[in-house]
């Protein structure tokens, strides 16, 4: 298949880690709560990778996701939720997962993540997550906001399952994961999921700062946001989960599913938004 510019199109789905299922490279975030109509529209366009968490809207986000996915074939979706660090102990993980499943109206999560590292020993959390995979309530185990040291420690405590993903902050202003978490992800063989991919504040397509991105967007007849999402997911291991409550935004993000940037586009964006040296811990906002 080729785009209107004659370039080849990317596959909208790719393996989630070395041996994981095919998952849409662009998904949908749901913080603090999603608009069920927008979410459903996105699913219809192929944005079937849905990210939520027990924290978001105090459970409301999961309820709204549950509403949006009602009647949709469960195996066409990749549903992700997260347990809060204060619930990440043996009993707490099991109870939190049950609550999330109830709110979502589903029998299993495709990936269940530790939202960030708190005071519970990471081995206890990983053991509880492994039990959930064994029981069928989660298909895989993930983490979020872990740097390579934490990732190594968490992975070292697992017995029968592997970490499927690390979900981290990644956008044009924050590319330091490329030198830190991404090399670990490559070596280990899991996925990296980019949150807040459109930046904080959200990129201003008319701003001077984004002139290069805007120029590339014009060339392909898409929005600058789609160009950014395609750029961030150029690595085979990387997925992005933008959150959009407006239908035109959902349409724009879905255009990134198959948008294949050229090497010179990628080089131009990298030069206009250079990676910096990381100072301090893994950034989270
Ligand atoms: P984001 O997705 O980068 O940005 C969301 C904002 O971008 C919204 O204001 C949205 O507007 C706007 N937007 C979306 N698509 C657009 C488009 N095509 N054109 C113009 N504006 C567009 O940031 P985020 O919500 O912080 O991150 C995404 C998801 O990552 C969250 O929803 C959540 O699921 C996850 N997350 C995880 C963590 C973690 O610790 N693991 C932390 C933060 C976020 P409208 O809503 O008005 O459409």
At 214-227, the pLDDT tens digits run 999 999 999 999 99
Mean pLDDT of the chain: 96
Can you give the pLDDT at residue 1? 42
pLDDT range class, residue 7, cuts 50, 70, 90: low
Band (206; pLDDT cuts 50, 70, 90): confident
pLDDT of the residue at 232: 98
State if residue 241 touches ligand 1 by the CB under 6 angstroms criterion: yes
Percent of the chain with pLDDT over 70: 97
Whether 55 is in the pocket of ligand 1, judged by its Cβ within 6 Å, is: no
Residue 202 C-alpha to ligand 1 middle, in angstroms?
A: 8
Distance 227 CA to ligand 1 centre (A): 15
Distance 68 CA to ligand 1 centre (A): 18
Over the stretch 55-83, which tens digit does the pLDDT of each residue have?
999 999 999 999 999 999 999 999 999 99
Q: Check if 42 has its Cβ closer than 6 Å to any atom of ligand 1.
A: no
Tell me how far apart the 2 most distant CA atoms of the chain are, in Å.
55
């Amino acid at each position: 298949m080729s785009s209107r510019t004659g370039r080849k199109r990317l596959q909208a789905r790719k393996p989630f880690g070395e041996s994981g299922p095919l998952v849409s490279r662009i998904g949908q975030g749901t913080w603090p709560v999603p608009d069920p109509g927008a979410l459903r529209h996105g699913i219809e366009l192929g944005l079937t990778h849905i990210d939520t968490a027990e924290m978001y809207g105090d459970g409301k986000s999961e309820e709204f996701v549950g509403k949006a996915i009602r009647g949709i074939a469960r195996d066409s979706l990749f549903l992700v939720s997260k347990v809060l660090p204060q619930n990440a102990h043996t009993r707490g993980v099991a109870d939190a997962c049950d609550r999330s499943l109830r709110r979502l109206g589903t029998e299993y999560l495709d990936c269940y993540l530790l939202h960030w590292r708190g005071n519970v020993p990471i081995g206890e959390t990983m053991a509880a997550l492994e039990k959930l995979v064994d029981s069928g309530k989660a298909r895989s185990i993930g983490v979020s906001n872990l740097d390579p040291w934490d990732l190594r420690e968490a992975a070292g405590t697992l017995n029968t399952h592997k970490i499927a993903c690390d979900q981290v902050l990644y956008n044009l202003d924050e590319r330091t994961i490329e030198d830190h978490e991404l090399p670990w992800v490559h070596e280990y063989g899991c996925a990296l999921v980019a949150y807040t991919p459109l930046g904080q504040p959200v990129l201003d397509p008319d701003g001077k700062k984004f002139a290069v991105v805007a120029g590339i967007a014009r060339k392909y007849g898409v929005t600058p946001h789609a160009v950014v999402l395609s750029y961030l997911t150029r690595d085979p291991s990387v997925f992005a989960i933008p959150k959009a409550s407006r239908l035109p935004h959902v349409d724009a993000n879905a255009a990134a599913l198959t948008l294949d940037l050229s090497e010179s586009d990628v080089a131009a964006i990298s030069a206009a938004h250079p990676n910096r040296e990381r100072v301090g811990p893994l950034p989270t906002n």
